[in-house]
Structure 1
Amino acid sequence: MRASRLVTLLLLLQNRGRLTARQLSEELEVSVRTVYRDVEALAAAGIPLYGDAGHAGGYRLVDGYRTRLTGLTTDEAQAAFLAALPGAAAELGFGEALATAQLKLRAALPAELREHAGRIQERFLLDAPGWYGDADHAPHLAAVAAAMWERQRVALRYRRWRAPEEIERRVEPYGLVLKAGRWYLVAGGPSGIRTYRVDQIFRIRPLEEEFAIPDEFDLAAHWDRYLTDFRARLHTGEALVRLTPQGARRLGVTPMGDGWTEVQVPIESIDHAHGEFLRLGTDIEVMAPAELRDRIAETARTLATRYEG
């Protein structure tokens, strides 16, 4: 633990220049007295650093000195791939490793590239959850991730939308996907590869059984196929609609000039399409199927009657 802290202290000085003992203690989450001892240990090991007294003082490295201790640990290398998702890294237990990995990566860069990397970090932010909902609370995410890293089978108690709502599955965690603020587990089992929402797992029990991920399995390719199949199952019908230019843009359709655009659009069901199309108000007219057109017409009549006077 102390060796890791000494490396971090050295990298902080290399990346940021002069730092006071108080600033170092806050960064390392240790006491000022511990910082003094760590600085003495580095000096005794031949690291060319010195301290300046006074209000503007602090510790710094001799100009031109650069450490070569920039190798990444396994955890830090894994965390580096999540650098655009600090929240996700923290949820998976890599928050501290990510911070250390970024320090090491900065230390390995020339000065001008370090400055550029700093500007990128200051000016770009990825906020994964959608506007009208917070990220799901997934209390068992860390346990799922641990089983995935260790390639350990687990028994899940899972809540699904259809009966029976609560089921138990023995699965092999192959990978985790974060989509729109929601975590999904892709796992193998007796019935093949399945996808589970991690926030719907309410109990997980590690099993003393290891597994091997099939050589042909590719998480990104599998997820792409899963989404394609999901959309195909989701949109079971079509509707013929007329759209104003504004309605076309809101529905993601290219307007045909300044007039109405007639187009076939996929729909999940009559009930779902009824609610979605009503959002477009007067920017849409449903032509077919007749059942959907009649439902929307009846809703319009009810609203007109309700708002009369």
Structure 2
Amino acid sequence: MKSSRLVTILLLLQTRGRMTAAQLAEELEVSVRTVYRDMEALGAAGIPLYGDAGHAGGYRLLDGYRTRLTGLTAGEAEALFLAGVPGPAADLGLGSVLAAAQLKVRAALPPQLRAHADRISGRFHLDAPGWYADVDETPYLSTVADAVWNNRILHIVYRRWRTPTDVERRLEPYGLVLKAGRWYVVAAPGPRTFRVDQILELSTSDEEFTRPDDFDLAAYWTAYQRDFHDRLYQGEAVVRLAPGVTLTTPTKADGRTDDDGWTVVTVPIESVDHAHAEFLRLGTDIEVLAPPELRARLARTVAELAERYGNPQAPGGD
């Protein structure tokens, strides 16, 4: 829209200083002729614009003409720009909106606070997914987000882990959560949690639902995670860890440290099978003390490995 573009021009000039018509056209993704018309419109509206000809020319605002955002401390300005997540915003179809909002805030900041904000955004970058995690394809994310915002009913075909794997569901989407690079939609009935990347088919309708006034998405997600971990970790293991070794799961120190620096801790485990695979990764930096079933299984695996690698004969030999 033209009105939005005119505001963006003002903010760009306020933030960056002198800019040529070509630079503005490239930034706004419009023609140079459109920029000229916009400048005429701004001048007619009383905006103190100056246009200088020549190689070093361009448009600029009269010195001192700016809109200031008052009451914002340096720390608040830094936190605001640190909180920017362009990747997820783009996933939701809000990348340009976020960029415009940050531009407006940055333009309204006094020079000192603007420098603080630039320093933060230039030194910190958020990349939520892990190194070895595949990027989930979420083709329906923007549609789900629109339904969340407008209280629209969704009809989906969803793939779950147990049979029957592909099921049809009617959802009343309450909110979206981004966890470790993966999007989840929280929806009634229930409410329940669904992975957006597991939606195989989706259709929307004009049918609306009433979102409960007392529903708290953050509180729900905290409770959901707590319940998930309670269901996930069905047992415990007692292990000795070499000095400096840590585990990704929460541990409880038993208060015992050997003379050689090894520490005894209690670790929640999903199952003996899962713990067996996870603990093997640590090699000789861990010793399982309990449960006996897990310790015995690891001992058998280690014995089999020792026998296999202790035989100098090459595979396939006589």
Q: TM-score by structure 2 length?
A: 0.88
Structure 2 unaligned regions, length at least 5: 70-79, 313-318
Give the AA of the match of 2:237.
Answer: A
Q: Secondary structure at the match of 2:186?
A: strand
What residue is the counterpart of 2:14 in the other structure? Answer: 14
Give the superposition deviation at 1:135. Answer: 3.0
d(CA) in 1 for partners of 2:113 and 2:245? 46
Deviation, structure 1 residue 256: 3.1
Aligned equivalents of 2:84, 2:68: Cα separation in 1: 25
Alignment-derived partner of residue 59 in structure 1: 59
Residue 242 of structure 2 is aligned to residue 244 of structure 1: yes
Whichever residue aligns with residue 227 of structure 1, its letter is Q
Percent identity, aligned pairs only, is: 66
Say if 1:246 and 1:283, in contact at 8 Å, map to a contact too.
no
Aligned match of 1:288: 290
Which amino acid in structure 2 is aligned with residue 204 of structure 1? L
- 2:103 alignment partner AA: L
Distance 1:231 1:215 in 2: 28
**Which of 233, 239, 251 is the matching residue for 1:235?**
233
CA shift at 1:107, angstroms?
2.5
Displacement of 1:291 in angstroms is 1.8
The corresponding residue for 1:125 is 125
Question: Which residue type is aligned with residue 231 of structure 2?
Answer: R
Distance 1:93 1:21 in 2: 28
2:229 match: secondary structure: helix
Q: 1:68 to 1:174 in 2, by over 3 A?
A: same
Counterpart position of 2:275: 273
The alpha-carbon deviation at position 298 of structure 1 amounts to 1.3
Evaluate the alpha carbon distance shift between residue 222 and residue 126 of structure 1 in structure 2; reply closer, same or farther with a 3 A threshold: same
Shift of 1:251: 6.6
Residues 118-127 or 163-172, more deviating = 118-127
- Residue deviations 1:101-128 (CA, integer Å, cap 9, x gap): 1121122222221222222222211111
CA deviation vs aligned residue, 1:211-252 (integer Å, no higher than 9, x gap) = 122122111111000010000000101122222223356776
Question: Which residue in the other structure is 1:256 paired with?
Answer: 257
Query: Structure 1 residue 2 and structure 2 residue 2: aligned?
Result: yes
Number of the residue aligned with 1:92: 92
Instruction: Supply the AA of the counterpart residue of 1:287.
Output: L
> Counterpart of 2:283 in structure 1: which amino acid?
G
1:48-90 Cα distance to aligned partner (Å, 9 max, x none) = 1111111111100111112589xxxxxxxxxx89952101111
- Structure 2: distance between partners of 1:125 and 1:49: 36
Size of the aligned set, in residue pairs, is 298
Structure 2 residue aligned with 1:72:
none
| Structure 2 Cα separation of the partners of residues 157 and 111 of structure 1 | 52
1:19-48 deviations in Å (ceiling 9; x for gaps): 111111111011112111111111122111
Q: 1:261 to 1:119 in 2, by over 3 A?
A: closer
Would the aligned equivalents of 1:83 and 1:98 in 2 still touch at CA under 8 Å? no
1:297 aligned residue (291, 296, 299): 299
Aligned with 2:205 (options 199, 204, 207): 207
> In 2 relative to 1, CA 145–82 (structure 1 residues): closer, same or farther, beyond 3 Å?
farther
TM-score normalised per structure 1: 0.90
Q: What per-residue deviation string (whole Å, max 9, x for no partner) do you get for residues 140-190 of structure 1?
A: 10110010011011111100111110111111111111011100111111x
Secondary structure class of the residue paired with 1:275: helix
Could you tell me which amino acid in structure 2 is paired with residue 240 of structure 1?
A: V
